[in-house]
Amino acid sequence: MASISMPESHDWLSESARQRVQRRHAADKRMRLYGLAAIGLAIGLLGVLLVSLILSGYTAFVQTKVPLQVTVSPEQVKPDNLERGNYRKLVRDAFLDLMPVEMSRSEQRDYLSMLSSGAPFLLRDRVLADPSLVGQTVEIMAPLADPMDQFHKGIIPRDVPEEQRRVNDVQIGYYDQLVAEGLVSTPFNWALFFSPDSRFPELAGLAGALVGSFYALLVCFLISFPVGIAAAIYLEEFARKNRWSDLIEVNINNLAAVPSVVFGLLGLAVFLGFFGLPRSAPLVGGMVLSLMTLPTIIIATRAALKAVPPSIREAAFGIGASRHQVVTHHVLPLALPGILTGTIIGLAQALGETAPLLLIGMNAFITSAPGGLTDPATALPTQIFIWADSPERGFVARTSAAILVLIGFLIIMNAIAIFLRQKLERKW
Amino acid sequence: MSEVEPMQVSAGELARAAQNAVQAEAQPTAHARVAARDVNVYYGENHALKHVDIDIYNNEVVSFIGPSGCGKSTFLRCLNRMNDVIEGCRVTGEIMLDNQDIYSRDLDVVQLRARVGMVFQKPNPFPKSIYDNIAYGPRLHGIAAGKSELDDIVEVSLSKAGLWEEVKDRLKEPGTGLSGGQQQRLCIARAIAVNPEVILMDEPCSALDPIATAKIEELIDELRQNFTIVIVTHSMQQAARVSQRTAFFHLGTLVEWGETEQIFTKPRDERTQGYITGRFG
């Protein structure tokens, strides 16, 4: 043992020591730079995504329209059969009134195709909502057809050969005249939020998808919130720790990692195939989504329950509270902020989930907002999927706009989660 | 410790212990409120507490002393079956509270914990108002018949815990906003609000400063009039100051128990002697 000895002394000011300090400082600095670079890259990519979405999507938030003075004549629209009135003719006549010039047949066809084919439906809806309009003159803001809309927004360029654009020179002539008279305007496109889907991009909106997503999330919440919390409470507060509880825990964690398309197949086979529930229904969508949200909520709830200090449980037990009183009076209220945060994040994930909804048919073309849980519907992500698949130019901008709406909802939900956590969480 | 101190307990404290002993003897009718016979506790394979026999008498303070890990807290937690909550814990033997076996099937553990209150090492008020902290137990067990009765219980409990004067104007404020010593007295008030027969205290002063400790010790002495108190402590001085009887635990066995004065002056077992003179522990 005598051969081993500590060094006599260490020179903290030697050259090698100084170099070591320098190397350490440099390493610290490098470490920080790597981190900064990673964060910069992440934020940069996010910025690129958002900017490209906004650039391609902002035009969908306004819609090119012309005001039409339509006289709802009782000859075309019979008061006793409002549904079957000839609104098409009324709108055409009103649109032709805007351009009091001689037209050949083909010029007239070109001119009339500048107006959205959906304009008669707008008039019909107005009249159906207020039958007293028959015999009067109403003003409707009629959207222009998609090519004119794109032309007005500058997406279809003017200075290319006629055969390379979907707007011909005759139409441009009429368009310039309409603009000169100050008839063409681009008001905010409320139809994007309040109209259902349509074959015509200038009429298509997200109402059906928003309502469908809302119903699906409602079902998802109603199933996964109580079941998830009950399961987590049982596992955390009541279950004995043994091989079975370990097995359950591993399986729940695995469930959280199962690809969502698998849940969609399960929903297709079980909910639609075996139980015969309706296709494309938000009810089934919500049930499938709740399968995905459940593990998230269970894991978040268990973490929140674990975070409640054991001293609170002991205090309550010590005063003679039973297990369920300890849980309901003390543990659960203290864990609630964490549970709510986890739930909202789980629902936000469910809101963006596409694959399982595709498999149960929530990507159908549906032109009315669902009136109930079993009506066919789309959801936000599947609506994006449908629009992204559509060939019309107008759907390009609308797809980006729909993505922005979806991202907006996700940001709002996450902000609520953060707010709840800040507001309710106790500091120990 | 390099040098063995002859005695860690001062003469004044011994005198106090002697006085306590006189008081203990002055109660010839004292019967064993709690009687433990051959109590064993296992944590899984670990035999944590071995063959403990002890009697705890009415209106007395009994202190459990001993080095860390000796089983004194484990035994304390047997007395209100708090060990039930711990997984893998098994208790054998017999513990009688007023001649009723507390581990028998007929006995409701929740009622037992109301009858045998507990104060913990770290003050653990509920994150609720001071009023609700006290009122929780009475509400739970239906002790108060109405709002005014509940108000009375809160006032009496806080008064008994010596806290009423300090908090009577802020009963709606959270209990967690009080100082450490006040929190611990709040916990004591919470325990006595359900009018228990026995109060168990698990090192109630270990997280407190000396002034707060002195207040709690005074309080324990006063509470003795109405309750039977069992206190686990690491401080032999505290045991000598507050208790009439002392039990010394070592390595999971109850080495000896008796009047506090006797334990500190004429211990029968040399392990006790070794511990109180500071040779180990």
d(CA A180, CA A173): 11
Q: Which chain B residues are closer than 8 Å to A321 by Cβ?
A: 110, 140
Predicted pLDDT at A12: 86
Token reading at A242: 């043994």
pLDDT band at B16, cuts 50/70/90? low
Predicted pLDDT at A48: 96
Q: Which chain B residues are closer than 8 Å to A322 by Cβ?
A: 110
Interface of B with A in 174-213 (CB under 8 A): 187, 190-191, 194
* Least trusted range by pLDDT, from A124-128, A217-221, A420-424, B216-220: A420-424
pLDDT tens readout for residues A150-175: 999 988 888 888 888 888 889 999 99
A348 residue type, one letter: A
User: Which among A240, A318, A325 has CB closest to B120?
Assistant: A318
Predicted pLDDT at B28: 42
Instruction: Return the closest-CA partner of residue B134 out of B112, B151, B121.
Output: B151
Predicted pLDDT at A64: 92
Instruction: Return the closest-CA partner of residue A420 out of A344, A317, A313.
Output: A344
Token reading at A23: 């190397």
Predicted pLDDT at A2: 59
The distance of Cα A274 from the centroid of its chain, to the nearest Å, equals 30
Mean pLDDT value across chain B: 86
Higher pLDDT: A423 or A93? It is A93
- In sign, the C-alpha dihedral spanning B172, B174, B179, B181 is positive
pLDDT of A118 > 60? The answer is yes
pLDDT of A15 > 70? The answer is yes
Fold of A207-424: MetI-like fold (1.10.3720)
Token reading at B271: 């392990």
Predicted pLDDT at B12: 65
pLDDT band at B123, cuts 50/70/90? very high
Q: Do A406 and A381 contact (CB within 8 A), yes or no? A: yes
Q: Which chain A residues are closer than 8 Å to B80 by Cβ?
A: 318
Separation in Å, CA of A2 to nearest CA in chain B = 28
Instruction: Return the closest-CA partner of residue A209 out of A415, A52, A354.
Output: A354
Hey, where are the domains in chain A? 60-189, 207-424
Instruction: Return the closest-CA partner of residue A211 out of A222, A225, A197, A200.
Output: A197
pLDDT tens readout for residues A224-234: 999 999 999 99
pLDDT of A389 > 60? The answer is yes
Q: Which chain B residues are closer than 8 Å to A313 by Cβ?
A: 85
pLDDT of B27 > 60? The answer is no
pLDDT of B29 > 80? The answer is no
User: What's the mean pLDDT in B132-137?
Assistant: 94
Query: Is A318 close to B82, i.e. CB distance below 8 A?
Result: yes
User: What's the mean pLDDT in B25-32?
Assistant: 53
pLDDT of A397 > 80? The answer is yes
Q: Do A175 and A98 contact (CB within 8 A), yes or no? A: no
pLDDT tens readout for residues A51-69: 999 998 998 999 999 999 9
Interface of A with B in 324-353 (CB under 8 A): 325, 329-330, 334
| Best residue of B140, B187, B201, B232 to probe chain A, by most A CBs closer than 10 Å | B140
pLDDT of A82 > 80? The answer is yes
Predicted pLDDT at A267: 92
User: What's the mean pLDDT in B157-172?
Assistant: 91
Higher pLDDT: B86 or A358? It is A358
User: What's the mean pLDDT in B159-169?
Assistant: 90
pLDDT band at B3, cuts 50/70/90? very low
pLDDT band at B5, cuts 50/70/90? very low
pLDDT tens readout for residues A309-363: 999 999 999 998 998 999 999 999 999 989 999 999 999 999 999 999 999 999 8
Q: How many CB contacts within 8 angstroms connect chain A with chain B? A: 61
d(CA A4, CA A378): 78
Instruction: Return the closest-CA partner of residue B198 out of B59, B81, B27, B38.
Output: B59
Predicted pLDDT at B144: 84
Q: Do A290 and A231 contact (CB within 8 A), yes or no? A: no
d(CA B51, CA B253): 7
Separation in Å, CA of B144 to nearest CA in chain A = 15
Predicted pLDDT at A242: 85
Chain A CB within 8 Å of residue B110 CB? yes
Predicted pLDDT at A351: 94
| Best residue of A311, A319, A329, A426 to probe chain B, by most B CBs closer than 10 Å | A319
Q: Which chain A residues are closer than 8 Å to B122 by Cβ?
A: 311
User: What's the mean pLDDT in A100-111?
Assistant: 89
pLDDT band at B40, cuts 50/70/90? very high
Whole-angstrom Cα Rg for chain B: 19
Mean pLDDT value across chain A: 90
pLDDT tens readout for residues A407-418: 999 999 999 988
pLDDT of B11 > 80? The answer is no
Chain A CB within 8 Å of residue B162 CB? no
Token reading at A200: 């015509």
DSSP string, B70-127: SSHHHHHHHHTTGGGGSTTEEEEEEEEETTEETTSTTS-HHHHHHHEEEE-SS----S
Q: Which chain A residues are closer than 8 Å to B140 by Cβ?
A: 319-321, 325
pLDDT of A40 > 90? The answer is yes
Separation in Å, CA of B2 to nearest CA in chain A = 27
How far is CA A344 from each of CA A300, A339, A349, rounded to the nearest angstrom?
10, 9, 9
What per-residue string of b and e applies to A77-95 under the rule 16 or more CB within 10 Å gives b? Answer: beeeebeebebbebbbebb
Predicted pLDDT at B64: 94
pLDDT of B141 > 70? The answer is yes
- For residue B39, how many other CB atoms are within 10 A of its CB? 23
User: What's the mean pLDDT in B252-266?
Assistant: 91
Predicted pLDDT at A426: 63
